[in-house]
Each structure stands twice: as structure tokens, then as C-alpha cells.
Amino acid sequence: MTELRHVAIHGDDVAYRDQGEGPAVILVHGMASSSQTWDSVLEPLARHLRVVAPDLLGHGITAKPRTDYSVGAHANTIRDLMAELGIDRATIVGHSLGGGVAMQFAYQFPERCERLVLVAAGGLGPDVAFLLRALTLPGSEYVLALACHTKVVDAGGALTGWLRNLGVQLRPGAAEVLRCHGSLSDGQARDALVQTLRSVIDVRGQRVSATNRLYLARDLPTLIVWGDRDTIIPVSHAYAANAALERSRLELFEGAGHFPHCDQPQRFVELLVDFVRSTEPASDIPTALSRAGS
């Protein structure tokens, strides 16, 4: 596993992984996750690219202050981290919530975004799993505290170990879900999760959408990756986004769920490396976005 490094951004400690040389790629994880979600792809990618994978505020071992956890705030953190690391422009890769952050980054800082990669991305329509909608209800934080109590997490770990001894291996995506669940045994992480959820989702579904702004990214090279068995965010969002973006490429991972990069890491690495090598970075997006915002 690539060693975690640390940098202070506006007084908050931000942990990140940084490995490899070449064109820069920023990997942005999803909700309740961390840079660990990229463990199976980071080192193979770093043989070809410079790969930076942060723990977003409120996630992993990065600070968990009482602050703004909106997609815009996370996009600001990515921009500030790039500045600290001397990275002017990069391909932004976002999974789930990170996909929404990646799209927001491209909208806010088009001059810094060379390409966009959306992996089972949020922010492309209202549909989302019922559990996430339920967790936005008043009092859900108390239910979450019980569901993620240390004893419950430990029991889940023991069950996983027992199944492994019997020769039953969890799919990588399922193992990632359990890791996310385990991270929420920390009260500060749970608080950050609830704040993040409520900033993008309500009981009716996703309430932050980039769909009405996708036309602004029509000239931005975009790769869309989705598992065809995603039960968190439906694959129909991938088809709609691909239809709306002129320079997009859609890749469906058959048999994969919400974590296609975990379920099929080799294919993901090959796709991403090929995408970076075979596409020219966006050059005229800032002008187009500036006109649209004026």
C-alpha cells in the first residue's frame, strides 16, 4: 500500500497518497470511503501516471471538522491540494460522491481539469438507494450510531473471517462496503457522513444534480465507468450522461456492482491508462465556461 502523506490545508490535516510520474490523475473516493478504495489500482496506475488519492475532509484519517461538506467544498479541497503539490492540471477521477465532486471541480476550475472520469458517479439524476435516502431523515444519526457500534463492526469482521476460513471469499466490492461500514464506528466520521449525505440527498433522492450543466463539458474528454449490477446508483444514469456528453466514452463492467474499480481492477487500470494516453487534454473548456458564466 502506498504510504499516506499529510499536508495542512487551511489549518486542517489532509491525508493523501502520491505515487508515480507522468500526467497527473486525481482519484476522488466516495461517501464513507477513503483513498483505500483505490488500493488495488493505485500502484498499477502509478507505473504509467502520477496518481494522487486524497482522503476527503471527514473521511479516512483526514481531519473531520465541523465544516461545509458540500460537493463544492470538496472540490475546493482538491484544488488546494493540487496547488500544494504543484499540480497545475490533472485528469479528475471520481467514484460515487467523488464523481459529483469531480463534475463540480470541472465546473468550478475548468482551467485545471484535463479530463473527467466518472465511476458510478453521483449527481446525474435523483435515483439512489433507499438506505441512503433514509439516513437523511431526522434522528438517523442515532440509528447509525447503533448500526455502526464497535461491537457490530467487530461481529461483521468475525463473520467475514469465519466465511474466509470456510473458503467463502467476499467479492471485492462487498469487502469495500464492509470497510466503509467499519470506518463509521468513529463518531466524528459518522457526523461527517450525515452532514455529507444531507448536503446532496434527501428522502426523495439525490437533490444535487449536474445534468443541467453537462452541456458545459461537451468538449471535455470524459470516460464513464459503471457496473451493470449497481444497486446504489442505477446504470441508467450512465447511459443518460453518455448521451449528453459529446466527447464521452461509456464502459460497462458486466457483473460488477457499485465499486467496479474494486471488482475488476485490471480492466479499470487498462481503461484509465488508455484513456489518458489516447485523448488530448481539454484546452478550450475555460473559455466556454467563462462565456456561460458571464
Q: What is the C-alpha to C-alpha distance for residues 202 and 197, in angstroms, rounded to an integer?
A: 8
Catalytic residues: 96, 230, 258
* Residue ending a domain, choose from 180, 199, 218: 199
One domain, residues 241 and 123: yes
> Grid coordinates representing 126?
435523483
Decide: residue 210, CB within 10 A, 0-12 exposed, 13-18 middle, 19+ buried. buried
| Per-residue pLDDT, 145 | 77
One domain, residues 31 and 120: yes
| Per-residue pLDDT, 150 | 61
One domain, residues 47 and 123: yes
| Per-residue pLDDT, 232 | 95
One domain, residues 210 and 268: yes
One domain, residues 109 and 139: no
One domain, residues 120 and 245: yes
| Per-residue pLDDT, 171 | 66
One domain, residues 181 and 221: no
One domain, residues 12 and 60: yes
| Per-residue pLDDT, 158 | 41
CB neighbours (10 Å) of residue 71?
26
| Per-residue pLDDT, 284 | 53
* Residue ending a domain, choose from 199, 226, 247: 199
| Per-residue pLDDT, 177 | 74
* Residue ending a domain, choose from 199, 221, 249: 199
The domain that holds 243 is classified in CATH as 3.40.50.1820
One domain, residues 14 and 97: yes
One domain, residues 139 and 104: no
One domain, residues 71 and 28: yes
Q: How many domains does one find in the chain?
A: 2
Q: CB within 8 A of 281, min separation 6: which ones?
A: 23, 89, 91, 114, 115, 221
One domain, residues 104 and 215: yes
The model's pLDDT over 102-160, given as tens digits with 9 standing for 90+, comes to 999 999 999 999 999 999 999 999 999 998 999 898 888 877 877 765 644 444 444 34
Range of the domain at 224: 5-128+201-293
The whole-model pTM stands at 0.88
Q: How confident is the chain (294 residues) per 10-residue block, as mean pLDDT?
A: 90 97 97 95 98 97 94 97 98 97 96 97 95 89 72 43 44 71 80 91 92 86 97 96 93 97 97 97 58 36
Find, among 145, 180, 191, the residue nearest to 258 by Cα: 180
